[in-house]
Amino acid sequence: MKGTYLGEFEELVLLTVGILHDDAYGLAITDELESRTKRNVTISSVHKALVRLENKGYLKSHVGGASKERGGRAKKLYLLTNSGKNALKESRSLRNHMWNDVPKIVWEGGNI
Amino acid sequence: MGRRKHMTPAPPGWMTRFLRWYCKKDLVDGIEGDLHELYLRRVAKYGKVRSNLLYFLNILLFFQPFAFKKRNQNRRLNTIDMFRSYLTISIRSLIKSKSISAINIIGLAIGISSFIVMSAYVFSELSFDKFHSKADRIVRTVYSYEARGATTGVARVVFPLKYRLLENYPEVEQVVRFHEDNNDAITLEHQDKLFTEKKIFFTDPEVFDVFDFPFLAGDPQNALTSKNSIVMTEEAAKRYFGNENPIGKTILFKNDDQLLVTGILKKSTHSQMDFDFLVPLELQRQRWLKENRFNDLEKNWQWSGAWTYVLLKSAEQKVSFDERLHEDGSDFFGRISEPTVDYHYTSQWLLDVHLKSNMAAEIGVNGTTSQVYGFAIIAFLILIIACLNFINLTTAQSTNRAKEIGLRKVMGAHRINLIWQFITESILVTILSTVLSLLLIELMIPIFNSFMDQNIAVPYFRLPILMLLFFLGAIVVGGLAGSYPSFYLSKLKPVKTLKGDSHGGGGNSNLRKTFVIGQFIISNALIVGIVVVKLQMDLIKGKNLGFDKQQTIVLEHGSKMQDEFQLFKSRLSEIPSVVGVHQGYVAGTPGWVQSFRVEGEDLEATKSIGVNHVGYDFLDFFGLELVSGRFFSREFSTDSTEAILINEAAVRALGWTNESALGKTFSTRRWKTKVIGVMRDANFESLYKPIKPCVFKLNFFGDVAVKFDSNNSEQLLSSVGAVEDAWMELFPQWPFEFAFLDQQIEDQYLKEERLGQMVQFFALLAIFIACMGLFGLATFTVKKRTKEIGVRKVLGAGIWSIVSAIMKGFLILVLISFAISAPAGYYISENWLQGFAYRIELNLWIFILSGLVSTLVAAMAILSQSLHAARMNPVVTLKYE
């Protein structure tokens, strides 16, 4: 298996796939990311991340329905795999631990 | 409204097609769908144009490795296996037909190596003097004058012109002169080492500001500022100082001037200035002033003795410099009030001197453009012949394999596989022959260098790119040669070929015939060339020069004698085998270049005529003939001042007759003389030029020649020994060195002759390659026609009728090519011969002879194969099927 390191953008994409649950495809993920992060997300970078995440085994895909507004093309729908869920959990717990280890004084000390 | 709904906007089709073209199958639907959705959204928002643009931008953004189709991912391994198979089959097929493979490889290797060696020579000739960093601004001043309709160009100008150029010409940055003393041999001495040096140039101290002769030791700025300094090449320094450091040591110049070695140069082999030593011109000037033999050279406006190189401030100024020089020189720089001879002063680029200049008194041995281009053309012809040969044989060979191709196709080979098979084979052959040609080049270069007295090299290792190009070139040639048969043969229908109808097809053999004709056109033209060059060279060598040059030696330091000559002569008269001693002009050596303006009484224009200073014995010594009048005689005391003889060419040039010439008076600024005799024309100078008008004047200086009458070489050697004894007794301070006159004259033609031989060699090589090709083709044809021959034999054909049936086909090709090449050969030969004063006439028989030769050679190449075929037992050949 390729490297399991999860980049920031990849993590966001992964979470978005989770949020969208059964309608997670390229454009929907892009829209969701844009509205949540308030930054410009290009559709190609999302697709790129999806391909990479699928290669890493965090996502699996299946072909969804086609529609007129898609020019008759089927959607490629993504779902989180177990290892994808684990990766997200790991990432979260790593952050939690690190949060906990930041001394209180840092938060309360105000600006020097 | 309903209609509108159907007309949902869609992005331009070509954009989508582009996406589909590069994008992976399993991604393309998802991406295309997403983009389409996005597009519709955008159309509603921004309108169509902008959306189209954004759509395309999106597609471009997807143009990334992750989305690309993975091409032939599975086939990649197979490619290597297939290549291995191609290679194995190629090697097998090479081994299967050993003789044709050998012919192919060797022929191509000879072609490639000859081409490389000859191009190395061409590049070496073209690279002369390019190493000077200011070469593009350096010009040489030269002049020409008209004399009786002929223009004579002179490469040297007068010494003081330098100062005039520096003062009056704003274009000029620096002027450097070179001078060589041809009339008096120079010795150099250091401790016990004494040599006569021939390659000494006198020059100005600024020489290194203009020219970049590479210094190994010493300071170029001040190397020649002192008149008692000398700069020498590394090799020359070794002769005198061995391995010691020569800088700061002294060397004795002509027995009396001590010169300090101030610089060591690396010898420049690709320079028109071929010297071993550089000595300040000032030294020569001071010596001559002391000896009182010449006027102060810096004030001498009569004698053009300096090769004068001018560094211009910019290259563009040559035009204005030339104009100014021409105008200024037309009255000889104000020295001649009423000029009667037209002087045309001009300048030529330094870089043009070696190949384009052909004047009197050149600074070195020049090449000629036609020689270099001739070489280049032959080099290309050889390469072309070799390549045609290769293509031809490869094509012919591969038609043998129609069955194999049919079978391969039946077994499922694609056309592309077959094409690769043939291309691999021919590339393999070219690579093998490239390797072989590298070996051949290594063998040929030293031979070429020593034979042609050249310094060429192929700088493989300094230029890895050359190596790369070399192999790349081989692969391209191989690919091209392989492509024809591969594309042609891969088209064959398996049903047809497997049925046994495996004849190569008409078009194919026509192409082969065309190639054979092409090769033989080239070979025929080359044979004509060889015959013409050989005949012309023989003519020149066998030409009676009109004077006697046998058993004569010329003493190297003889010109140092003045009054001592009489003493020396009387000493030599005691030696029985010495039949003559002469001081003065030596027939057959380059004459005096300075031309005297001689005024005929009944002519308005003065004419420039070369002058030869001779002694009383000149006529007898060189076996010359008198046409009318008498020769110089001691009985007439005025002969040394008032008498001259002229040759028949001069008589003709002046429009006199041999009789009427007698008594005519000539006057120059220095003397007034009367013609006392006319001498028969003799060819004193190069046979390439017609005999020039010349004047003979009595004088008592110049080279000393001694003539012997000896029956064998042993006796001659002992006589020379006796002369040496006399010399050592009278002139112990100068070494006794001599050269045989006939040898000296022959050496003049050495370069031409060697070049001719070299051309002949390469031309023969070309013909050899062509014949190898013919041999290969004959082998192939015979093999293909075995069955036919068998049937013929069964039906009662004799050996010779079969042989002639096979040979006829080829000989017709040879004859056709002869018909085409003869006029071409005639044209080229005629052009070449025009450069000679004495030339052969082109006869029909030259062409008939060369046609016969090429036909004969071709016939021999085919004969053995056709004989072999004709002798085969029909039982064996017809056994199959």
Which position has the token pair 């500022």? B225
Residue B284 shares a structural domain with residue B171: yes
Q: What is the pLDDT of residues A9-24, one digit of tens each?
A: 999 999 999 999 888 8
Contacts of B454 (CB under 8 A, 6+ apart): B121, B124, B448
Residue B153 shares a structural domain with residue B59: no
Residue B61 scores a pLDDT above 70: yes
Residue B596 scores a pLDDT above 80: no
B62 vs A26: CB contact, 8 Å cut-off? no
Average pLDDT of the residues in B846-857: 83
The CATH number of the structural domain formed by A8-102 is 1.10.10.10
Count H helices and E strands in chain A, helices first.
5, 2
Q: Does A26 touch chain B (CB under 8 A)?
A: yes
Q: Which residue has the higher pLDDT, B71 or B433?
A: B433
Average pLDDT of the residues in B6-15: 78
Q: Which of B313, B336, B368 is the last residue of a domain?
A: B368
Q: Tell me what percent of chain B is helix, strand and coil, each rounded to the nearest 5.
A: 55, 15, 30
Residue B142 shares a structural domain with residue B287: yes
Q: How many domains does chain B have?
A: 2
- Asked if residue B347 belongs to a domain, the reply is yes
Average pLDDT of the residues in B77-88: 79
Average pLDDT of the residues in B802-825: 84
- Give CA separation, B535 vs B529, B542, B826, in Å: 10, 10, 14
DSSP B360: B
Q: Does A66 touch chain B (CB under 8 A)?
A: yes
Q: What is the pLDDT of residues B246-274, one digit of tens each?
A: 999 999 998 889 999 999 999 888 899 98
B30 vs A52: CB contact, 8 Å cut-off? no
Q: Which of B309, B344, B368 is the last residue of a domain?
A: B368
Residue B166 shares a structural domain with residue B59: no
- Report percent pLDDT > 90 for chain B: 15
pLDDT for B473: 80
Q: Which residue has the higher pLDDT, B322 or B511?
A: B322
Instruction: Among A25, A48, A63, select the one facing B64 at the smallest CB separation.
Output: A48
Residue B215 shares a structural domain with residue B352: yes
pLDDT for B593: 47
Residue B47 shares a structural domain with residue B188: no
DSSP B73: T
Q: What's the CA gap between B773 and B384, in Å, rounded? A: 12
* Cβ contacts from A onto B, under 8 A: 68
Whether the CB-CB separation of B458 and B443 falls below 8 Å is answered with no
- The 10 Å Cβ neighbour count of residue B635 is 7
Q: Which of B311, B345, B368 is the last residue of a domain?
A: B368
Residue B512 scores a pLDDT above 50: yes
pLDDT for B336: 65
Residue B70 C-alpha, separation from nearest chain A C-alpha, in angstroms: 14
Give the burial string for B296-321 (b: 16+ CB within 10 Å, else e). Answer: ebeebbeebbbbbbbbbeeeebbeeb
Residue B17 C-alpha, separation from nearest chain A C-alpha, in angstroms: 13
B33 vs A47: CB contact, 8 Å cut-off? no
Q: How would residue B760 be classed by pLDDT, with cut points 50, 70 and 90?
A: confident
Residue B602 scores a pLDDT above 50: no
- Asked if residue B767 belongs to a domain, the reply is no
AA letter at B525: A
Residue B677's H or E segment, with its range, is strand B672-679
Instruction: Among A30, A45, A73, select the one facing B32 at the smallest CB separation.
Output: A73
DSSP B752-785: HHHHHHHHHHHHHHHHHHHHHHHHHHHHHHHHHT
Residue B293 shares a structural domain with residue B164: yes
Picking from B293-297, B521-525, B789-793, which range would have the lowest pLDDT averaged per residue? B293-297
- The 10 Å Cβ neighbour count of residue B39 is 24
Candidates B174, B498, B157; CA nearest to B329 is B157
Whether the CB-CB separation of B262 and B229 falls below 8 Å is answered with yes
Residue B356 shares a structural domain with residue B258: yes
- Asked if residue B236 belongs to a domain, the reply is yes
Q: What's the CA gap between B428 and B474, in Å, rounded? A: 9
A47 vs B30: CB contact, 8 Å cut-off? yes
- Cβ-count burial of B845 within 10 angstroms (0-12 exposed, 13-18 middle, 19+ buried)? exposed
DSSP B16-32: HHHHHHHB-HHHHHHHH
pLDDT for B506: 39
Residue B33 scores a pLDDT above 80: yes
Residue B601 scores a pLDDT above 50: no
Q: What's the CA gap between B496 and B489, in Å, rounded? A: 12
Q: How would residue B745 be classed by pLDDT, with cut points 50, 70 and 90?
A: confident
Residue B870's H or E segment, with its range, is helix B844-871
pLDDT for B699: 84
Residue B313 scores a pLDDT above 90: yes
pLDDT for A2: 45
pLDDT for B474: 79
pLDDT for B341: 64
Chain B residue with minimum CA distance to A30: B34
Chain B residue with minimum CA distance to A72: B33
- Asked if residue B22 belongs to a domain, the reply is yes
Q: What is the pLDDT of residues B604-639, one digit of tens each?
A: 344 566 778 888 888 888 888 889 889 998 888 888
Q: How would residue B362 be classed by pLDDT, with cut points 50, 70 and 90?
A: confident
pLDDT for B604: 39
Residue B47 shares a structural domain with residue B160: no
Give the burial string for A35-49 (b: 16+ CB within 10 Å, else e). Answer: eeeeeebebbbbbbb
A70 vs B58: CB contact, 8 Å cut-off? no
* Highest mean pLDDT out of B168-172, B517-521, B808-812: B168-172
Residue B58 shares a structural domain with residue B195: no
Q: For all residues of chain B together, what is the average pLDDT? A: 82
Q: What is the pLDDT of residues A59-94, one digit of tens each?
A: 999 888 777 778 888 888 999 999 999 999 998 999
Q: What's the CA gap between B307 and B154, in Å, rounded? A: 10
Residue B395 scores a pLDDT above 70: yes
Rg from Cα positions in chain B: 38
- Asked if residue B780 belongs to a domain, the reply is no
Whether the CB-CB separation of B599 and B666 falls below 8 Å is answered with yes
Whether the CB-CB separation of B539 and B840 falls below 8 Å is answered with yes
AA letter at B217: A
A51 vs B29: CB contact, 8 Å cut-off? no
Average pLDDT of the residues in B800-820: 84
Residue B3 scores a pLDDT above 60: no
Average pLDDT of the residues in B546-565: 84
Whether the CB-CB separation of B483 and B423 falls below 8 Å is answered with yes
Residue B401 scores a pLDDT above 60: yes
Q: How would residue A112 be classed by pLDDT, with cut points 50, 70 and 90?
A: low
pLDDT for B737: 84
Task: Quote the domain boundaries for residue B153.
Answer: 137-368
